[in-house]
Chains A and B, each alone.
Chain A
Amino acid sequence: MNLATSDERQLGFTLIELLVALGIFLVITGAAFTLLSTSQHGYQTESLVLTSFQEARLGLDQMVRDINDAGFPPPAFAGTDPTKFAITPFAWSTGAGYSGTPCQIGTAGGGTCTTASVTNSPGDLDLIIETNPNIQDPLSKVQWIRYQLVGTTLMRGVADKAGGGTDPDAVTTAAGVLVPFVQNVVNNACPPQIPNCQTAYPGIFPGGAPVPIFSYACDNSSPPPATVPCLGPGADNSPTNIRDVMITLVVAAPLADATTGVPRLVQLNGRGRRINPNQ
């Protein structure tokens, strides 16, 4: 009986035992929650990165398709109605000679192909594709499909091609034509907007310079046959001669990394190759 009473008293914890157990529990729980919180932040950041990544992937795929089909159908199809065939795979402004005078493709903000717009098209951040993506519709017309970076939003606009020397720059920048296509494209915005992104991603922004979305390779008229970068002035450097368009999209997650504060960037590369013949 005495023994039993003594056993019942010893079933409880002493204050010291309790404090030690509680202390250990709190330490472990605190560490666990800290880890969980970090993981959760990481997961949120990764989710945002993935969303941007997915948008950019879809956008890149669409751009590559459009460029592959550029210049369809060529004038050989039907040379009478200019809205039914592509006069050139990549359009440019009337003012710079859309009707035939070659112009210089814009690199590093230069170029002479578009006079009416802020950016040069074709240029580093701007491109107008001329194609008919839906030829089997008898009522379909050739379209001007424009990609233009405005701030950090890559816009896409589709408008029916108009005949009579109409300026594709004016048609595709009319109100309501360009709509947001890929958000948070920072090819041109990273250095001023996020000063530390060049430090964090020196490989993406070599020298801290903006990264062209579009860079071009042209057919070279001199033998041996070659496709060369469309650099420098010359007859080969013209939208009619563009053969390859290399696409580089740098997209940022809407929020910086929650732990480090570094902007999260993803760079995607693609290449569109025009197969339709020179016009």
Chain B
Amino acid sequence: MKTGRQIRTKRTEEGIALLISIFILLLISVVAIALIVSSGTETALAGNYRASTGVYYAGLSGLEETRARLLSKNPDAFNTTDPSTFLPPPGTALNMGDTYYLINPIGGQAITPWDSASTYPDSQFGAEFGLSSGFFSPTNPSPTALSVWNRNPLQPLGIPGPLYKWVRINAVSEKSLGIDVDADGLPDSTTPLYFDGAHFSNSSSAGPQVLEVTSFATLPNGSQKIVQYLVAPTPLNLTFNAALTMDGNNVLFTVPNTTNFWVRGNDQFSVGSCNPGPGVVDAVGYTNSSDSSQSNILSAIQTGPPSNKNRQGNYTNGVAPNPDVSYETLSPNLQTVAGLNTLVQTITQNADVVINGNATQSSMPSGMSPTSPMTIVVNGDLTFNGWHNTGYGLLLVTGTFTFDPDATWNGIVLVIGKGVLYSHQSGSGQFNGAVFLASTLDSSGNPLPPASAPGSPNFDFTSSSGSNGIYYSSCWIQASMPGMSYKVLSFHEIAQ
């Protein structure tokens, strides 16, 4: 009887426990599933956005790599890494319909975008050129170059590079872009487009060719994106109408009275295969004809008597009356502080060496040579003192440039910022090329308003013996003109 009671009791308790357990388990399951669903959805939403952003930047990285490698001075430039197999030689235009691919395979995958049956086909090319220009598919096979991630020194490091697959480089025309460049009312021309610095043109003489760069990127999760640049090289078209140009109002001008100090506008000096032409520029140029600039310059040049003290003949171009001090009309971008600042920015972005802070001759790079002129920017004062050497290239100084004429500079000297060029020492050095001064600061050193004209530049050569002066040289100017980057003319994402 005792045994039977124990058995019955146990059976009853087991039933209740089971029910309660099942119920609680059910409850917990519902809560757990709700939480999982909730966090799963949140993760998925955030993931989609992350994938969209990630593939966008992967595409952009392809565009930027291509844009950088189009530039000849880049160590990984296409004409250095793939000199005869990829793009035509510099200066040769791309033909319409020709396609060149930068490919970025990962793990040995084959990337042949011209093949419509391949993993990553270029269907965009046909969409862009097929109906409008009659090129229904890319050149088969197209020349290819490997991305920097597949070349030394990055490849052996095994760094996972960006996930773009290919970047296409090709020419564009009115028809392919659907735009009317020559204003004849029709987007009909199939000749390649060129860029004149402001607008597109059908004429090859207008400027460098416009290149279309199209990048395709895809992520392992299948997200894809195509982004596109139009780019063109933008040479720094600095023209000098005088051996020494003083840009601004009420210029300050001091020169020595020695016989050996010259400012000459005759074109001189051969550089490599470049020979000086018959053309001349003015010796000294100023840009405001209604202030004291002209009188300040003329009054600084000794006239005599006696006649042997007359130095007017030292400021000459051999054609104009002496002294050759003339009013210059500069290009619009050099007439305002904003334009000059932009020029400084542009040169800084493309400089070989940028020195922030004050510098001396010891900061000058050792790699400068007649065959390898360099672009050097000093964001501060530059002082040469006892430097018996020669500099080659474009020198931009934003502070005061104190020049010891023991040195010579072959190329372009821009003093934009404080606009002060001092020389209080003696020597036989000289400037061969052109010198340009502009002040973008007021007398207190504060920036002038961007839209205003530059302030007073100061050319102050007060040494008793002076230097040999400034000699215009178109060949040195040309040799030291820096190669500018490929400018992005437009960008857009192609909807897929």
Contact = CB atoms under 8 A, between A and B. Distances in A.
A276 B492 CA distance: 8
A32 to B, nearest CB: 5
Contacts of B447: 222
A77 B193 CA distance: 10
Given A36-B30, A72-B492, A50 B45 contact: yes
B487 interface: yes
A138 B345 CA distance: 37
Interface in A46-68: 46-47, 50, 53-54, 57, 60-61, 64-65, 68
Interface residues of A, number: 56
A223 interface: yes
Interface stretch (A129-137, A149-157, A183-191): A129-137
Given A78-B180, A224-B379, A275 B38 contact: no
B428 to A, nearest CB: 34
B198 interface: yes
B139 to A, nearest CB: 21
A65 B1 contact: no
A75 B198 CA distance: 8
A47 B187 CA distance: 52
A200 interface: no
B181 interface: yes
Nearest to A266: B42
A166 interface: no
A61 B495 contact: no
Nearest to B13: A21
Interface stretch (A6-14, A91-99, A169-177, A210-218): A6-14
A216 B23 CA distance: 56
A134 B31 CA distance: 47
B454 to A, nearest CB: 14
A265 to B, nearest CB: 15
Interface of A: 3, 6-7, 10-11, 13, 21, 25, 28-29, 32, 35-36, 39, 42-43, 46-47, 50, 53-54, 57, 60-61, 64-65, 68-69, 72-81, 84, 131-136, 138, 221-225, 235-236, 275-277
A251 to B, nearest CB: 13
Interface in B456-496: 487-495
A161 to B, nearest CB: 15
Nearest to A102: B451
B10 interface: no
Nearest to A236: B450
Given A39-B34, A225-B349, A69 B491 contact: yes
Contact of B344 (A10, A73, A223): A223
Nearest to B494: A136
A70 to B, nearest CB: 10
B488 A136 contact: no
Contacts of A73: 179, 490, 492
19 contacts: A32-B24, A39-B30, A42-B34, A46-B38, A50-B41, A60-B49, A75-B199, A76-B195, A77-B181, A136-B128, A136-B494, A138-B178, A222-B341, A223-B345, A223-B379, A224-B379, A225-B348, A235-B338, A277-B489
B27 A81 contact: no
Contacts of B45: 50, 53-54, 57
A39 B32 CA distance: 10
B299 interface: no
Contacts of A80: 180, 183
Contact of B20 (A13, A28, A53, A57): A28
Interface in B317-374: 338, 341-342, 344-345, 348-349, 356
A135 B492 contact: yes
A80 B341 CA distance: 30
A72 B492 CA distance: 7
B257 interface: no
Contacts of B349: 225
Contacts of A39: 30-31, 34
A77 B341 CA distance: 26
B38 A224 contact: no
B128 A72 contact: no
A159 B1 CA distance: 93
Given A68-B491, A76-B198, 9 more contacts: A6-B1, A25-B20, A35-B27, A43-B34, A54-B41, A77-B177, A78-B200, A221-B338, A225-B348
Contact of B38 (A43, A75, A225): A43
